[in-house]
Amino acid sequence: MSLKCRREEFEKVNSKKKGAILTFNGVDGYDVYNCSIPFDYKGSRYMYGRVEKREQWARSRTMLFEQTNPDEWSRVVGVEYQIEDPNITVIGREIVLNGTFALYRGGKLDGIYALFYRGTDVNDLCYFTTGPYNMKDIRLVQLSDGRIGVFSRPRNKEIIKKFGSESQIGFAIINNLDELTDTEIANAPYIPNLFKDGEWGGCNQVYLLDSGYIGIIGHKSYRSEAKDGLTFSTYLNIAFVFDPEKFIIIDEKIIATSCSYPEFSAKLPYLKDCAFTSGIIMRHDGKADLYSGLGDCAEGRIAIDYPFEGYGEIVPYNNIGY
C-alpha cells in the first residue's frame, strides 16, 4: 500500500487529537519550529528550537528555551547555535546536540552538513565533529554495552537511481564519540525495505528499549498534487522498531499526520501538510507526548499511545533527568 493510502486509512480511524501549539517567548517576530524533545536539567525543563523569520530561508538559529508554563517556553538569553532542526541525546554523561548547517558560497547554497556539539552544560556545548556532505537527520543512541548506534540518512541521485526512493537509513556501531566521523556515518549499511518509490524520510529521535531493540520516532514523506495543481511536501510522524541483531525493521507505522494537531500556519502553501517529527516524552499515564514541527513555522504537541508497545520499555537517559 502506498504511503498516501496508508495515511488516508490512518486518518479514517484517528480523529483530531486534543493537543497544543507551543508558545515561545522572547523571540518576537520569529517562528520557532522543528524543535528537540524536551529534557530536564538541574530542576528545569528545556528544549532547543529552530528560530527563523517567516519570510526567510536558511537563516535559522537554534536557541535554548526553558519551560515556564504548560506548552509555554521562554528563551534562555545567550545560548545560540548556527544550525537548524536541533536534536539531542545523551551519551555517557554528556548531552550531544546536532543540527543542520547550510553552507553558502557566492550567495548560493553549496550544501548542508550536520554539526555536532557535546558537553555537560546545556548553556555551553562544544562543537566536535561534522557529518558527511549533504546529509542531515543523523541520529545517535547509546547501546546497553556502552557503544553508540549511529543512524545515517543519505539522500541523493544515486539513491534514487538504485532504490527508487529518495533516501535510505543506514546503521553502524562505534565505540565512542571520538569515532563519530563523516566516513563512519557515510559507510553505515542501509536498513532494507523501509522506503518505497518516491518516498523519503529519516530518524528524528532514537530510544534504546530494555528488550535490546531500538525504538525510533521518525518521519516519512512523499509529494502529492492538490486539485489546484499545487504540489505538497507531505511529512508524516512515524514510529518503528529496529532489531540491530537481525538488521530488520519491525512494526513500522504512522503515529500522526498534520491533521492530528490543532490548526497551524505554514511558511508557504506547499508546506501546509508538513509534520516534521521531534520525538516523544513519556507521560505518567503511560501514554506519550509527541512533539512535531508543523508547516515550517510552528511546534505542536499531542498525546498518543505508547508506540513501542510489546517491544520493550524505553531505557531512560542516565544523566540529565529524563
3-12 pLDDT per residue, tens: 999 999 999 9
Q: Which residues contact 162 (CB under 8 A, 6 or more apart)?
A: none
Give the pLDDT score at 322.
40
- What is the average pLDDT score of the chain? 95
Q: Which residues contact 64 (CB under 8 A, 6 or more apart)?
A: 46, 47, 48, 75, 76, 79, 122, 123
Give the pLDDT score at 227.
64
The torsion defined by the Cα of 147, 190, 2 and 257, in degrees rounded to 10, comes to: 30
Q: According to DSSP H, which parts of the chain are helical?
A: 3-13, 157-163, 182-186
pLDDT band at 16 (very low <50, low <70, confident <90, very high): confident
Does the pLDDT at position 59 exceed 90?
Answer: no
Does the pLDDT at position 320 exceed 60?
Answer: no
Does the pLDDT at position 100 exceed 80?
Answer: yes
pLDDT band at 109 (very low <50, low <70, confident <90, very high): confident
Closest C-alpha to 239, from 208, 205, 210 = 205
- The model carries a pTM of 0.96
Q: How many CB atoms lie within 10 A of CB 176?
A: 11
Which DSSP letter does residue 123 get? Answer: T
205-261 pLDDT per residue, tens: 999 999 999 999 999 999 987 767 788 899 999 999 999 999 999 999 999 999 999
CATH 2.115.10.20 for domain 3-304: yes
Does the pLDDT at position 297 exceed 50?
Answer: yes
